[in-house]
Amino acid sequence: MRDVAVIGVGMQKWGELWEKSARDIFVESALLAMNDAGVDTLESMYVGCMTPGLFDAQEHFGSLMADYLGQKHIPSTRVESACASGGLAFRLACMDVASGMHDVVLAGGVEKMTDISGSDATHALATAADLKWEGVSGVTFPGLYAMIAVAHMAKYGTTREQLAAVAVKNHDNGSMNSRAQFPTKVTIDGVINSVKVADPLNILDCSPITDGAAAAIVVPADMVKKFNKPGVKVIGTGHATDTIALHDREDMTTLAAVSEAADQAYKMSGKGPKDIDFSEVHDCFTIAEIVVSESLGLFERGKGGPAALAGETAIGGSTPINPSGGLKSKGHPVGATGVAQIVEITEQLRGEGGDRQVKNARVGLAQNMGGSGGSSVVHILEVM
């Protein structure tokens, strides 16, 4: 198999993009990535999108996006793994190039979530849970992650202040990100006193409903010089699944799919948790970042909360997490999130993080997750 590198990334500002369609925002990001890479022709593309039929009343997204991007006749595949759709699209693009099938491949992600009512959006997202056993009882994702939070608090003594510290840190980072949906700083008291959603989680513990897209161009690593662009090498990738329903898991305080996907990526890359300079992880809720950080091996189990409160996960801390602002501040258009993580990792490794730049960043990890951990994708990238 061939080594793979990212040579171009693109992403526009995320938010409530009322004046644009899903195809508009996808094409904008794809063109930004192609321009960044210096290419005008693709050989293949993968489009992460969770549920366009429910959000956008449109299926057949692979063909549609290739058409509107002006790349007719190339193989174009829509990829779905709930909120991990974008990360999986990137993995498949890397596998395509690694196999030797194609040389210039676009990995993209998109979701247009605001064109339906709040209740319809809640239903669309709930299809990533086990509808037969969880959805039928009226449990949506805030409730599921609240259960995880309660279990984690009971087992490890995780506190409400530690959960809030995740939101504070990510909004601090997002305040320096011009593409973030909510680039507004918050306080621990503000998070704790915000509107209750599902005890112990409040509105400021939850990622928002978002419109957005992101894209990356991958090529064989040995062809990077041909494009005369700085390349970032993909040195590890992993993908795993778990039971979707929480009641079928042995332990709700950890995420087995995250650990398994990380183990695969660590083994492939020859790296371990201590070699990771910074991470972009799936903080759909504040408790998610804490549990993911432990499941990745960045912290011992039960230590993720204290680490967040102590500032260890801040940009200047020992283990920076989500310098982009994460899903919490940057936004969470579910099909695009995993690719946006690759955008941030790539820009950080190229030294383009601006005020958010992680010092001496040479190895970055991206972790994208579907539902309440029913699937997870992990990638490790390194400066070439």
Enzyme catalytic residues? 83, 332
In sequence order, the 6+-apart residues with CB closer than 8 A to the CB of 147 are: 246, 252
Cβ burial 303-314 (10 Å sphere, 16+ → b, else e):
bbbbbbbeebbb
Identity of the residue numbered 27:
V
Cα–Cα dist 73/126, whole Å: 34
